[in-house]
Amino acid sequence: MEVQSNSLFSHQSQAASGGKSIPENDAYLGVISEEQLDSFNLGLYHSSPEELIEIIERNGMFSIESMAKIVDGFNAKDIPVEKRALVLKGGMGGIFKRHFRNDELIDEVFDRFSKKVTDSPLNLQCTDHKMVIFLLLKRKP
């Protein structure tokens, strides 16, 4: 079981900005209010394929139509920072927009994320990922 920090972004953003996550720094710049930031928590958990199947079956609302391992291990530093930011924004942007209720603010946060991670010494370190899984689910009637 791998549990990731509940900060908005990875340890890369924290190191890039003096130990605080990017949104925490932005809160002090007036871009995100401290109240909004304090009320937002995004815990991430990366389950194994077996755990995914168990979770979906236990939920009972979906059937698994297809499941495939897309990537079996990769190094995040091989992916340009801008692309990583776009993937994060695409995957989690809606969650941020619902909470912070400001599309322009979200664009600004992800732009700052790209710039700060690019300048981070941790960007040069290896960030190994075990695998990426594609799931096609069908909602049960």
What residues contact 50, with CB distance under 8 A and at least 6 apart? none
Distance between alpha carbon 45 and the CA centroid of its chain, in Å? 10
pTM, entire model: 0.49
**Helix or strand (DSSP H, E) at 58:** helix 49-59
Closest by alpha carbon to 6, among 47, 46, 45, 42?
A: 42
Residues 6+ apart with CB under 8 A from 98: none
Q: Give the pLDDT of residue 25.
A: 56
pLDDT higher than threshold 70 for residue 66: yes
Better-scored residue on pLDDT, 117 or 125: 117
Q: At 82, is the pLDDT very low, low, confident or very high (cuts 50, 70, 90)?
A: confident
Q: Grade residue 3 by pLDDT with cuts at 50, 70 and 90.
A: very low
Average pLDDT of the residues of the chain? 70
